[in-house]
Amino acid sequence: MQRVAFVIYEGFHSLDLTGPHEVFHFTGRYECLVVASEAGPVRASSGLPVHASHGVRDVPPGGVDTLMVIGGRGVDRARDDTALTAWIAAAARTARRVTSVCSGVLLLADAGLLDGRRVTTHWGRERQLRDEYPGLAVDCDPIYIRDGRFWTSAGVTAGMDLALALVENDHGRDVAHAVARELVMFLRRPGSQSQFSVPLWSAQPSSDPIRAAVAAVQADPGARHSVADLAGRSGLSARHLQRRFTAELGVPPAAYVERVRVEAARRALAEGEEPVETLARRLGFGTGETLRRAFHRQVGVAPSDYRDRFRGMREFA
C-alpha cells in the first residue's frame, strides 16, 4: 500500500482534497492520510468540516510515498504556519513524488522545493506565484505539469486529472480506466489541456440555431464550417447566422472555428507524432502554413515548439 499524505489547513478547498482522495481510494492500492498541523476537524473555505486523521507530529516524514498539498483560500494564512511548512519540506525530501493542487504550490515554493522548476497553478494565482517566485517557470495554461518527481496542477477538477495520471503512472491504464469509469470522469484529459479551453471560456449560445452550429464545430473541428455550411445546419440564412452567432458568442463564426481547431491541434501535438502537414489537413486548416499562423496567433509559439514542450508529459498524461 503506497501512502499518500494530503496536506490541508483552515480554508482549504474541499474539492481539491475530496476529488483526488476518491481517485486514490477507489483503487484499493493506496493508504490515504489527511494531515494538518493538528489532528482533528479542519474547516474548508466552504465551511465544510473535515477530520484530519493526523497531525504533522504523528506522521514520520520518511513514511510518505506521495505528498499532495491541497490549495484553497486559506493558503496564505497557512504559509505562516512554520511547523506545517517544515513538515512539508521534510516529507518532500524522501517522498517518491511531491504534488500540489491549485494554490498548494505556494506551500511547496515556501518550503524551497521548486526553485528553477516548471510549475502550474490555478490561473487566478498566476500573478502572485510569478511575483513572489521569479525563479520558477510558471505556466498556467496546462491543467497539470510534471517536472521530474514534482507534479503541480490547476484547481478543483484538475486535481482529479492529476490523481488519475498518477494512478496510471503507478498501475497502468486498466486500473486508471476502472477508476475513471466508476467516478464518471473523462479518462486521460491530458496535462496539456488548456485551463482556457474554448467550451469553458467562450460565451454560451442562447438560442437553438446557434447551439446547433456550435455543436457541429465542436463535434468535428476538421469538417467544412463556412458560414454557409453553419447556416445550413442551423436553419438560418448566412447573413442571419453571422449576425446572431457574433451577438451570442462575442466572436464571428470564422474566429470561433479557428479557436476550436487550434485547441484540437494542441491536444494532438501534445499526445502524438502526427506530422503538422497531416494534422493541418485533418483539422480543416488546409496547409501546414495556415495551421502555423493560426497556432502562433493564438498560442504564441510554433506547433513544433509546442510539441517539444509537452513531449516528456505524454507517457503520463
**Which of 4, 59, 102, 114 does the annotation list as catalytic?**
102
140 counts as catalytic: no
Residues linked to residue 4 through DSSP beta bridges, in sequence order: 32, 66
DSSP symbols for the chain: -EEEEEE--TT--HHHHHHHHHHHHHHT-EEEEEEESSSEEEE-TTS-EEEESEEGGGS-GGG-SEEEE---TTHHHHTT-HHHHHHHHHHHHH-SEEEEEGGGHHHHHHTT--TT-EE---GGGHHHHHHH-TTSEE--SBSEEEETTEEEE-STHHHHHHHHHHHHHHH-HHHHHHHHHHTT--TT--TTSBTT-HHHHSPPP-SHHHHHHHHHHHH-TTS---HHHHHHHHTS-HHHHHHHHHHHHSS-HHHHHHHHHHHHHHHHHHH----HHHHHHHTT--SHHHHHHHHHHHHSS-HHHHHHHHGGGTTT-
Query: Sign of the CA dihedral 6, 10, 12, 13?
Result: positive
In angstroms, the CA 161 to CA 19 distance is 9
Give the contacts of 33 (CB within 8 A, at least 6 positions apart). 3, 4, 5, 6, 53, 54, 59
Pair 85, 110: CB distance under 8 Å: yes
Query: Sign of the CA dihedral 140, 145, 147, 150?
Result: positive
Residues recognised as catalytic: 102
